[in-house]
Amino acid sequence: MEKKLAAVLSFLLHPAFAPLISLIILFYSPTYLRLIAPSWKQRILLITAVGTVLIPFSLLPLLYFRKLTEQVRFGKHQDRFLPLFFSTISYYFTYHIFQRLAVPDILEILLLSATITVFVTMLITIFYRISLHTIAWGGLTGIFLALCLRFGMVFTPWLIGIIILAGLSGYARLALQAHKTGEIYTGYLTGFALNFVLIFFLR
């Protein structure tokens, strides 16, 4: 029963959803981004969903059947390199589309931060099986704390929720024996530090 619950949590809190979650929070929080037309919000969310979720996920079966990765679930940390490499490319093109569409600067910064995070994760995973889940949730924590401090935006309820979900994602990965405790904490701290610095200092 515990493993079934952990598997459900692991899927629902998948790191690929992090960019979408960050945009949804921004769009429906009391910030100037609420003023964006609903049709424009939907277009931005659709582009993000395709570039950060649909394309990376659709490549996994292809990589597996072409024998470029041994397991779709990435049992070995080396199996993560190519999926993360192609995810980095897909994230970058999504960021480039944002630039071409002239979306608000904060959205460009978010996508650039996500792209850099995936790239750094790809490099780390060459030699260490860091938790992708906690990198993502640590990243979300860092993003919204940096937005609070840099722009004076108020995301306190969201931050509390994100921290709770980060804990649940770590619990799920441990319950599934997908990671050791150190890999969970290293992932969270890496995601937090990287995204906090990027959001706070990128112009």
Start-to-end CA span in the chain (Å): 47
The pTM for the full model equals 0.90
Q: Which structure tokens are listed for 116?
A: 């850099």
Looking up tokens 């701290």, which residue turns up?
189
* 35-40-41 Cα angle (round to 5): 70
pLDDT at residue 154, as a whole number: 85
Q: How far is CA 161 from CA 15, 68, 72, 118, 200, in A?
A: 16, 37, 30, 23, 21
DSSP three-state, residue 203: coil
Q: Which structure tokens are listed for 13?
A: 């809190």
CA atoms of 136 and 6, how far apart (whole Å): 17
pLDDT by residue for the chain (203 residues), tens digit each?
678 888 999 999 999 999 999 999 999 888 888 889 999 999 999 999 999 999 998 887 766 565 555 544 545 556 788 889 999 999 999 999 999 998 999 999 999 999 999 999 999 998 899 999 999 999 999 999 999 998 888 899 999 999 999 999 999 999 988 889 999 999 999 999 999 999 998 76
The gap from C-alpha 5 to its chain's centroid, in whole angstroms, comes to 22
